[in-house]
Amino acid sequence: MADKPIINIDELQLREFRKGSRYEANLGRIGSLIGMQQLGAQYHVVPPGKAAFPRHAHHKNEELFVVLGGSGEYQCGDQTWPVRAGDVIAAPASDGDAAHQMRNTGSADLTYLAISTRHDPDVVEYPDSKKFAVASRVPADKGLLGARVAYIGRLETSLDYWDGEDIGEEE
């Protein structure tokens, strides 16, 4: 259990997350700091013109976004909706056909909470890049890349089930 089941967003230690010219956010993990075990929570600060993460879909985990400030758009599947402070947004577990992404299309920072279930293991599809990720044993204070087992790949590079196994005979 955490020392205290309360934290103020102003107390979060934000870490900078940036890749190329499209992805940028300052992120602060919340769930593990306040003792959550079955739910994850993270604070996002996304500057104008950016998204925090590529469009993706979790096979096992649901996400809920609560927009605290700014404006942008939320894409789920092939539909896009405008979002603004006060909006509560669902990203149910699904396949790549319902991949989602939040983008800042406004002129000020887009701030929101991302709250998610912590079902482990999880498979995540990234339909725009045609890749997937598998993660198991994800620590509460880290993301997918901090998992004990994490693999990102493409289906077409998958190995044969028997690859590398001693099957006891030659074919």
Which pLDDT tens digit goes with each residue over 95-104? 999 999 999 9
**Assigned token pair, 17:** 């997350």
Residue 133 resides in a domain: no
Residue 93: domain span: 9-119
pLDDT tens profile 30-62: 999 999 999 999 999 999 999 999 999 999 999
Residue 158 resides in a domain: no
pLDDT of residue 171: 62
How would you label 123-142 residue by residue, b for 16+ Cβ within 10 Å and e otherwise? bbbbbeeebbbbbeebebee
pTM (whole model) above 0.85 = yes
Are the CB atoms for 43 and 12 separated by under 8 Å?
yes
Q: How far is CA 8 from the centre of its chain?
A: 22
pLDDT of residue 144: 82
Residue 134 resides in a domain: no
Residue 143 resides in a domain: no
Residue 114 resides in a domain: yes
**Assigned token pair, 108:** 């000020």
Residue 4 resides in a domain: no
Residue 132 resides in a domain: no
The CATH number given to whatever domain includes residue 38 is 2.60.120.10
Q: For residue 1, name the pLDDT band (cuts at 50, 70, 90).
A: low
DSSP state at residue 56? B
Indicate if the pLDDT at residue 153 is higher than 80.
Answer: yes
In the chain, the number of structural domains is: 1
Residue 100 resides in a domain: yes
